Amino acid sequence: MTLPTITTPPASPSRNDPATFSPRADALVAYIATLVADLNALVAEVNKYGDGFPLFVPTGSAAAPGLSFVGDGDTGLFRTGANAIGLATGGVERARITAAGLQLTGLLSGTAVVQSAADTTPGRLLTPGWMGLGAMSSPALDNIDRYDIPQGFWWVSSATTLGTLPTGATVGDGVLVLRPTLNQTTQIYTTPNNGQTWIRKSYSTTSWGPWRRLYDSGNVLGTVGQAAGVPTGALFGAGSNANGSYEMRADGYLECSATITSLTTGAKTWTFPASFVAAPVVTMTAVSASVLAAAQLDAAPDATGCTFSVRDKTDTRLAAAVHLRATGRWSTMT
| Among candidate residues 175, 137, 179, 170, the one with its CA nearest the CA of residue 154 | 175
How many whole angstroms separate alpha carbon 173 and alpha carbon 195?
10
CB 187, CB 166: distance < 8 Å: no
Can you give the pLDDT at residue 288? 82
Please report which confidence band the pLDDT of residue 201 belongs to, taking 50, 70 and 90 as the band edges. very high
CB 57, CB 74: distance < 8 Å: no
The contacts of residue 33 (CB under 8 Å, 6+ apart) are none
Domains of the chain: 67-104 (no CATH), 140-214 (no CATH), 236-329 (2.60.40.3940)
Q: How many CA atoms lie within 13 A of 226 on its CB side?
A: 20
Q: What number is the average pLDDT over the span 96-112?
A: 86
How many whole angstroms separate alpha carbon 69 and alpha carbon 72?
5
How many whole angstroms separate alpha carbon 255 and alpha carbon 253?
7
Please report which confidence band the pLDDT of residue 50 belongs to, taking 50, 70 and 90 as the band edges. low
Q: What percent of the chain has pLDDT over 90?
A: 44
Radius of gyration over every alpha carbon of the chain, rounded to an integer in angstroms: 47
CB 71, CB 60: distance < 8 Å: no
Q: Looking at the DSSP assignment, which residues form a beta bridge with residue 246?
A: 239, 256
Q: What number is the average pLDDT over the span 117-134?
A: 78
Greatest mean pLDDT range, 128-132, 225-229, 314-318, 321-325? 321-325
How many whole angstroms separate alpha carbon 324 and alpha carbon 270?
9
DSSP strands (E only) in the chain: 67-69, 72-81, 84-89, 92-98, 101-104, 152-156, 173-181, 184-191, 196-202, 212-214, 226-227, 230-231, 236-241, 244-249, 253-261, 268-271, 281-287, 294-297, 305-311, 321-329
How many whole angstroms separate alpha carbon 310 and alpha carbon 297?
9
| Report field, pTM of the whole predicted structure over 0.75 | no
